[in-house]
Chain A
């Protein structure tokens, strides 16, 4: 017996066992009664932290509804947090996929993160990546990834109908657009401007970097000829702007972006709330909607979370809920079978066709991007609280807003210099 040989084997074995133990390496879950491990990523830190927290609340809700299982198998969620930055989101996604060995992942929340995770998904073609709520346009329009699925519409889609409404119904000739200088607002501004300018409106654009806290000189530059103010900011930027606009005595009619007229903003205490009543906006949900499904859903949300949650579900929570709806439905359709490089599962995801809690139909297009309904809503004061009330609905809005895809792509990516404001000659 070679003593040295044994000791080396022992050491290597111990090292290996130690390494395995510390990384929690798991064997592939081919067995039908092994749990499905789903990675979950959202912004639990940074500017959209409260949105990420609501996303987790809604995810928990749908898991509880389904007894924490799908396709006959138990579900295990592995949660990670990011902070709206692309590199951090990528690092967390890689940890979920490569270290925690999740079967697939759901997330992220924010625009830039979504693009980074989409690029990562291309390097892992045998695993599905389901978007959480990120709404940048190019994620599913340019450099598309075959295994990245998005069950929420992008920022451009959410503005469908708003530009026309402002120009034609409110009869506003000129607007001032105040927006954040990053991907998601670009998409929203694009969607608004396409309709508004084509209908003959004029717009001035005032951009400010993410994280601006003092908007006084932006406010000073709002043209006196503007008939309405379009505010496309999110999170704390939106709050700061509205408060300072109120303090400066601003009184223009307000048009808001999808994450402005949202409970994540309206539930926050502050001087901004007074001013936001009357704001018109567009998006995938509204607090007040007659559909019985929605009434039941929001009641359940309030009962489940009470003061821990917002006054009603936020857009971020809603997006993640809808994404999980699609995920669980597809898992049920394939009876929990993720084998064969998840090809059956991904086919089921691509073929999704279900109804969201707002009573809207949800399908995916050929780029695996959501086609669903968009609601125009107005902020009203009801029962001492500010809520969004839906008053109009556009059905089956797709990513190119009905424009032929080649033509839409020809318009270029939304950006600061490409606002979509192309007047008809």
Chain B
């Protein structure tokens, strides 16, 4: 591989990792506090993307400049709302029954995927990013590079920083971290733990929705995208460690790089590299790179 190609591939991996981080961070957050494995995380991605697109299309047709931005807000809001709905109606009252929650979310994801198909049909969709960030930019050492992918990195960094600030500098973050350590003690200090859980679920789901709109600007929105991002989130947090934002970032970088390097060097089996890394991490450190021992 020439130097130029190598630099491009690494950049490809990092930009893809950015997208994976945005999506997986929500998954990791929900598990970290509530020990809920939300197998409907991919469905939240897809829901946010479709609702965002439904809002986007009429606005775009009217040549409104903020169509894409409104779509992002719509995506975040719809996913967060649905997440809260799930938590309130079904998940909240089976707190602690991890397997049952996983099964419930699997059931929800099947229904949501099918209903979205029924409602929106099988056509592929993709957002038009605002012209300012569509097209390519000159990147030293690489040449012309898609601007939007660079924007992905920016958004991911912003999300990471925001999450870090939230968890470490706010009262809510303090409660969340305390809850991760000892949920019952947190309740004993008078904190309304169910409400905090709702907030966390809304946040995690909203991140999935954000990922949905961003991801569907970079890649087409089709059936099956929910499974893809769920599995990717699973691998990212298995590798990086559950409940740790830094771990999710590391996991995302590893998975993103593995995918792109694999695609460049041995495209047929690139997916194996991802799973090989996962298997290796599991063999050596089952809780993930930065995860807490179970």
Contact = CB atoms under 8 A, between A and B. Distances in A.
Task: Note whether A and B contact each other (Cβ less than 8 A).
Answer: yes
Interface of A: 44-47, 49-50, 53, 181, 206-209, 211-214, 216-218, 220-221, 235-236, 239-240, 243-244, 247-249, 268-271, 416
A46 B222 CA distance: 9
Given A214-B218, A220-B8, A239-B124, 18 more contacts: A45-B223, A47-B222, A50-B123, A208-B263, A208-B267, A209-B267, A209-B268, A214-B260, A217-B9, A217-B261, A217-B263, A217-B267, A218-B263, A244-B218, A247-B146, A248-B144, A268-B125, A269-B57
B267 A271 contact: no
Interface in B140-155: 144-149
B268 A248 contact: no
B121 A207 contact: no
A236 B260 contact: no
Given A53-B122, A209-B268, A249-B135, A214 B219 contact: yes
B82 interface: no
B280 interface: no
Given A53-B122, A248-B136, A239 B220 contact: yes
A209 B145 CA distance: 24
Contact of B219 (A53, A208, A240, A416): A240
Contact of A207 (B8, B12, B124, B267): B267
A351 to B, nearest CB: 37
Interface centre among B117, B135, B146, B223 (most CB of A within 10 A): B146
B122 A49 contact: yes
B264 A270 contact: no
Interface centre among A235, A239, A247, A270 (most CB of B within 10 A): A247
A216 B16 contact: yes
Query: Secondary structure at chain A's binding surface: helix, strand, loop or mixed?
Result: mixed
Nearest to A208: B267
Contacts of A53: 121-122
A212 B271 CA distance: 10
How many B residues are at the interface, by size bracket? Answer: 35 or more
25 contacts: A46-B224, A47-B223, A49-B121, A49-B223, A181-B268, A206-B267, A207-B268, A209-B271, A213-B225, A214-B12, A216-B146, A216-B149, A217-B12, A217-B260, A217-B264, A218-B263, A221-B5, A221-B264, A239-B220, A247-B146, A247-B148, A249-B144, A249-B146, A268-B123, A270-B128
B226 interface: no
Interface of B: 5, 8-9, 12, 15-16, 57, 117, 121-126, 128, 134-136, 144-149, 218-220, 222-225, 228, 259-261, 263-264, 267-268, 271
A240 B225 CA distance: 13
Contacts of B223: 45-47, 49
Contact of B12 (A47, A216, A235, A239): A216
Interface centre among B12, B121, B135, B144 (most CB of A within 10 A): B12
Contact of A247 (B8, B117, B136, B271): B136
Contacts of B218: 214, 244
A207 B260 CA distance: 14
Interface centre among A206, A209, A213 (most CB of B within 10 A): A213
A269 B147 CA distance: 21
B224 A211 contact: yes
Contact of A213 (B144, B146, B228): B228
B138 to A, nearest CB: 10
A247 B134 contact: yes
Nearest to B271: A209
